[in-house]
Amino acid sequence: MITFRAPGRVNLIGEHTDYNAGFVMPAAINLSAYTTITPRDDRQLIIRSDNFEDEIEVDLDDATNLAARNHWSDYPIGVAVTLIRAGYQLRGAHLEIKSEVPMGSGLSSSAAVEVSVACALAANSDLTIDRKELALLCQKAENEFVGARVGIMDQFVALFGEERRALMLDCRSLEYKLLPVPESVRLVVCNTMVNHALASSAYNERRAQCEAGVKHFAKHLPHVKALRDVTLQDLETYGRGLPEVIYCRCRHVISENARVLAAAEALERHDLQRFGQLMAESHVSLRDDYEVSARELDVMVELATGVAGVYGSRMTGGGFGGCTINLVDSEHVENFQRTVAEGYEQATKLKPEIYVCEASKGAEQTDI
Ligand code: GLA
């Protein structure tokens, strides 16, 4: 019996850029999913989760005929099916999954489960799969089996995160750089405790709008394969013919890519003021141009912005609810928590959850 841990993540900056072949800067956090795996002599996968009641049984010889059914087990089954389809021979096993990553809050609980399951299945079957490939296979499971067209950010950082480091990833080449998160700050995550139902359909709709943008720019600029290849200057020159809403979606992605590059430079110089300014600009762009914020997220960001010791605050993850990320001087964290929690409760009548996170290490075998 062995256990694998894979972390959730918080994205510091670079939102809705991963599926545009752009740049992101997440950090793995100290909230994880755990999969404990015990070999079986037969061809069954028995999957249980502490977070849910039912137990799922999958016949490995029949697994590729399965389809998602909008159930928690879609994630582990999707990973198993994707590994089999990629040509890996899996052995029977009993899987026990538990997770401390809050679900549906934009902290990537699904990637944490996928990655911990993938590591466990690989180890149980004596397979050596390199980490980049594992990330891509987990993303594929979510894209093709579960049906959410997510980018590579979450799975990648769940595997490649490091302690006290943010990970700046080029989502086209999958090259990455680990950047120091100064000891003097904490990554404080505020959960609005709302999750608007439209999140996944709106996500797929944003992707389609970006694709429409790419088609338009490629007519003028043949080298354009993704919004990553379009500059702000190109947007000015060729973007005017676009419908307003597509123009705004493109402007978010293009400006956000530029912000990630500037934020990486700022972090390398330990310039937290500048980093925080870029976070604020990112939030405004997500709210107004990409339209993936929510009133509760805006309230949370506004409350945080005035508080002593806060360098920056923005929504994090896909949006429409979920969490904000706040870069807070460690000496001011207690006051921050109190002030924001009180203000938020007054404004919305909702009790937020606040997690003071550390940038943490990616997936690994662990004792439980
Ligand atoms: C979700 C997806 C990621 C990414 C973010 C938005 O978390 O899983 O791939 O697209 O939304 O930045």
pLDDT tens column, 263-311: 999 999 999 999 999 999 999 999 999 999 999 999 999 999 989 999 9
Q: Is 150 in the pocket of ligand 1 (CB under 6 A)?
A: yes
pLDDT for res 181: 96
State the average pLDDT for the chain: 97
Residue whose entry in the numeric block shows the structure tokens 């992605």: 253
pLDDT in tens, 58-90: 999 999 999 999 999 999 999 999 999 999 999
Judge if 150 and 277 occupy the same domain.
no
Q: What is the mean pLDDT of residues 350-368?
A: 96
pLDDT for res 175: 98
322 within some domain? yes
363 within some domain? no
Summarize the chain as % helix, strand, coil (round to 5): 45, 25, 30
pLDDT confidence band for 201 (50 / 70 / 90): confident
Has residue 200 got a pLDDT over 90?
no
364 within some domain? no
Sign of CA dihedral 144, 134, 108, 150: negative
pLDDT for res 76: 98
Atom of ligand 1 nearest to the CA of 153: 9
- Bridge-based pairing state of the strands 321-329 and 185-195: antiparallel
Domain finish residue from 181, 210, 245: 181
Q: How many CA atoms lie within 13 A of 117 on its CB side?
A: 37
Judge if 262 and 319 occupy the same domain.
yes
Strand order of the β-sheet with 185-195 is: 310-316, 321-329, 185-195, 353-357
pLDDT in tens, 223-267: 999 999 999 999 999 999 999 999 999 999 999 999 999 999 999
Judge if 173 and 229 occupy the same domain.
no
Judge if 125 and 216 occupy the same domain.
no
Ligand 1: residue of 153, 155, 289, 320 to mutate (most ligand atoms within 8 A of CB) is: 153
Judge if 233 and 252 occupy the same domain.
yes
pLDDT confidence band for 47 (50 / 70 / 90): very high
pTM beyond 0.95: the answer is yes
362 within some domain? no
Distance, in Å, from the CA atom of 351 to the CA atom of 25, rounded to the nearest integer, reads 28
Distance 16 CA to ligand 1 centre (A): 6
Atom of ligand 1 nearest to the CA of 150: 9
pLDDT for res 53: 87
Has residue 6 got a pLDDT over 90?
yes
pLDDT for res 277: 98
Has residue 317 got a pLDDT over 70?
yes
pLDDT for res 198: 63
36-50, 198-212, 225-239, 352-366: which range is least confident on average? 198-212
Q: Which residues are catalytic?
A: 154
Range of the structural domain that residue 189 is part of: 185-357
Has residue 188 got a pLDDT over 80?
yes
pLDDT for res 368: 73
- Bridge-based pairing state of the strands 44-49 and 93-99: parallel
CB 96 within 8 A of CB 76: no
Judge if 55 and 142 occupy the same domain.
yes
Total domain count, the chain? 2
Q: Is 343 in the pocket of ligand 1 (CB under 6 A)?
A: no
Distance 154 CA to ligand 1 centre (A): 7
pLDDT for res 197: 66
Pair of tokens at residue 162:
């490091």
Distance 150 CA to ligand 1 centre (A): 6
Q: Is 19 in the pocket of ligand 1 (CB under 6 A)?
A: yes
Has residue 99 got a pLDDT over 90?
yes
Find the helix or strand (DSSP H, E) in which 355 lies: strand 353-357
Distance, in Å, from the CA atom of 190 to the CA atom of 170, rounded to the nearest integer, reads 27
Distance 187 CA to ligand 1 centre (A): 18
